Amino acid sequence: MTFYSESLPLSRPFRISRGAKTSADVVVVELAQGGMVGRGECVPYGRYQENCASVMAQLGVLQGQALDRAQVQRLLPPGAARNALDCALWDLEAKLSGIGVAERLGIATPPSLPTALTVTLDTPEAMAAQAKALGKASLIKIKVDAQAPLEQIRAVRHAAPAARLIVDPNEAWSPALLVEALPELAVLRVDLLEQPIPAAQSEALATITPLVPICADEACHTTEDLPALVGRYQVVNIKLDKTGGLTEALTMLRDARAMGFGVMTGCMTASSLSIAPAMLIGAQSDFADLDGAMLMVEDRPGAMPLRDGQLWPAAEGFWG
């Protein structure tokens, strides 16, 4: 096992309610065996007390050990480090066996996958311009804060009258603002509202009528979180950097469906090496938000093309 961090420049700042970034800081794991190399990528996230140094410290403890996916689930907690290692193991197994991950799992992947394209936080006028620039996108995700969210959403809706909309405040709203905004969100034909209030205040949702389906993101990491979300959220967002890899994401997808949740598959701002394994979950989800590589100045060779809101598979041998 080898691992290293990279800072991948973005073509423009990516702004959400809790700040802006100009690069995607990732950790890549490579596993070599039998002349093959399996790769996985993760995005350490400060919201979950992670950074590249902490992730590499977790991986360093395991260096030199013979590992399989079951051991990795036990030895590392859910999070970015386990995600990179788990996905590298899936990739290595596929390359050693000659059987692709989708085939091994019995997942029928479509020729291309519709994904949300993100309008980042800015003035309403600038966000409308972003939406217009997305052209034929059928699903748009709008990043908002608590300052002028309805004005921002109205501006995007005016610029993209036919698109389906996801609104994501990233925990920036209060329960009172949520109650105030919901009727207008319904009028604006918002399809999904993602983590509007802080995860720690999720209990407030039990007494709020969801005029628009509400999706748990920061409030939902693994399968263990699902029971507490019943009656509060209608949809859960599965991100491999939260679940700790594809292995747990598959379990979470199964259990979320069994408990009656809708499913969204999301990602961090990252290269296509992070997106490729998530696409297997996205192919089975109600919403896919997998445009994380769209802002890369330069994606990885063989990366996944994204055209008009459709995500296409990577070149053969890229991952899985």
Answer yes or no: 143 catalytic: yes
CA dist 308 and 285 (Å) reads 19
Q: Is 239 a catalytic residue?
A: yes
CA–CA separation, 99 vs 138, rounded Å?
A: 33
Torsions phi, psi of 251, nearest 5?
Answer: -65, -45
How many Å apart are CA 258 and CA 9, to the nearest integer? 40
Residue 255 · residue 224 · CB < 8 Å: no
Question: Starting at the edge strand that comes first in sequence, how are the strands of the sheet with 139-143 ordered?
Answer: 117-119, 139-143, 164-168, 190-194, 214-216, 235-238, 262-265, 287-288
Task: Report which of 37, 26, 27 is spatially closest to residue 89, judged by C-alpha positions.
Answer: 37
**Where do the H-state alpha helices sit in the chain?**
52-62, 69-75, 80-97, 101-105, 124-133, 149-159, 175-187, 226-229, 240-243, 246-258, 272-282
Beta 139-143 vs 117-119: how paired, if at all? parallel
User: Pick the catalytic residue: 21, 95, 132, 239?
Assistant: 239
* In the block, residue with structure tokens 């620039």: 133
Residues 88, 67: contact at Cβ < 8 Å? Answer: no
Q: What are the residue numbers of the active site?
A: 143, 239
